[in-house]
Amino acid sequence: MIDSLLDWYADHARDLPWREPETTGWGVLVSEIMLQQTPVARVEPIWREWMDRWPVPSALAAETQGEVVRAWGKLGYPRRALRLHAAAAAIAEHHGDVVPSDIDTLLGLPGIGAYTARAVAAFAYGQRCPVVDTNVRRVVARAVHGAGDAGPPSTTRDLNDTEALLPQDPATAATASAALMELGALICTARTPRCVDCPVFADCAWQHAGRPAYAGPAKPVQKFAGTDRQVRGLLLDVLRGTSEPARKSTLDLVWSDAGQRDRCLHSLLTDGLVEQTADGRFALPGEH
DNA sequence: CAAACGTGGGT
DNA sequence: TACCCAAGTTT
């Protein structure tokens, strides 16, 4: 199964810039953080800007938090920008401005969890370690277990299942990890899998089982309209758009419910995404 | 472990 | 038009 997957990947992998051989560990790390819960198409232009502007961790660390949040643009989940900024500072300070290759060391950095640590180890440093994201979990659920979709995550089982698929050679294993993710992104998709084009079709347990429907618990659907997330986004969007601090009265225009609006502004202050100036206005952090 | 956390494109 | 969903992490 892995051999046909590798053949397919060699022919069909997207030409994503962070996959170029010359990409540094820093480039890979930035891409992985940006790609968390965020589509490739939206990440690519921002990633290019960041690499031009901040080619090494210390360059990013030298910026204010506010400038980093502004440059994050509308990628979403802007706390990622703050954490990446903090990770860059730690890498510059404690790791010689080079992204660590050790998984446990990576896990100690802000914003880097089980997925991202292994993705960096594999894709930047060619290590043989299971890289489990939502794509891989879905591919494994179908191709290996014959289920219609992945059930709730189970860290140990997911890691073991994925590790069992990896070739022994580290560099090939890293490519296989990328290929599993690519298959999930392009062919073995969540909604309408393109099984007619699948390189693993002949070995797929889901096909052999007659493509049974997903039997597990329903996945919770995440609301957005009217939530604090939307209001926080609206508030932050105002501050990203101005170099001058904004008055409270300006921010009040983005949402009619005063209680919710104030709660959200307060949570942004708590998160460090917004700061209040000496004269009581509001701005992105570190820019006044 | 569940819930919070942005945003916008595809179906 | 709604709803689904996208390379997760943190609390």
Q: What DSSP line would sit under A84-129, residue for residue?
A: HHHHHHHHHHHSTTS----HHHHHTSTT--HHHHHHHHHHTT----
Q: Which residue is nearest to nucleotide B11 (CA to C1')?
A: A191
- Comparing CA positions, the residue from A37, A24, A21 lying closest to residue A91 is A24
- Count of beta carbons in the 10 Å neighbourhood of residue A187: 19
- Residue A82's H or E segment, with its range, is helix A79-94
Per cent of chain A over pLDDT 70 is 100
The per-residue pLDDT for A287 is 85
- Comparing CA positions, the residue from A240, A237, A241, A224 lying closest to residue A285 is A240
The per-residue pLDDT for A214 is 94
- Specify whether the CB–CB gap between A17 and A44 falls below 8 A: yes
Domain with CATH 1.10.340.30 in chain A: 24-123
Cβ < 7 Å from strand C, A residues 238-277: none
Closest C1' nucleotide to A237's CA: B6
Sign for the CA dihedral angle at A205, A206, A210, A214 comes to positive
Closest C1' nucleotide to A221's CA: C4
Which whole number is the average pLDDT over A2-17? 98
A228-283 CATH, one of 1.10.10, 1.10.760, 1.10.287, 3.10.580:
1.10.10
- Residue A230 CB closer than 7 angstroms to strand C? no
Residue A221 clears pLDDT 90, i.e. is over it: no
Fold of A24-123: Endonuclease III; domain 1 (1.10.340)
The β-bridge relationship of strands A275-276 and A282-283 is antiparallel
Residue type for position A196: V
- Residue A40 CB closer than 7 angstroms to strand C? yes
Residue A1 clears pLDDT 90, i.e. is over it: yes
Active site residue A49: no
Instruction: Please give the mean pLDDT across all residues of chain A.
Output: 97
Of residues A32, A67, A182, A275, which has the active-site annotation?
A32
- Integer angstrom CA distances of residue A137 from A57, A180, A196, A235, A237: 31, 9, 20, 35, 34
The per-residue pLDDT for A87 is 98
pLDDT band at A20 (very low <50, low <70, confident <90, very high): very high
Q: Specify whether the backbone of A90 is left (phi greater than 0), alpha (psi in -120 to 50) or beta.
A: alpha
Domain with CATH 1.10.10 in chain A: 228-283
**CA of residue A155 to C1' of nucleotide B2, angstroms:** 16
What gap in Å lies between CA A113 and CA A212, rounded to an integer? 32
- Residue A41 CB closer than 7 angstroms to strand B? yes
The per-residue pLDDT for A130 is 98
- Residue A117 CB closer than 7 angstroms to strand B? no
DSSP assignment of A1-18 equals: -HHHHHHHHHHH----GG
Residue A61 clears pLDDT 90, i.e. is over it: yes
Closest C1' nucleotide to A42's CA: B8
Residue A218 clears pLDDT 90, i.e. is over it: no
Residue A219 clears pLDDT 90, i.e. is over it: no
- Residue A272 CB closer than 7 angstroms to strand B? no
Which whole number is the average pLDDT over A227-249? 97
What gap in Å lies between CA A217 and CA A5, rounded to an integer? 29
- Residue A222 CB closer than 7 angstroms to strand C? yes
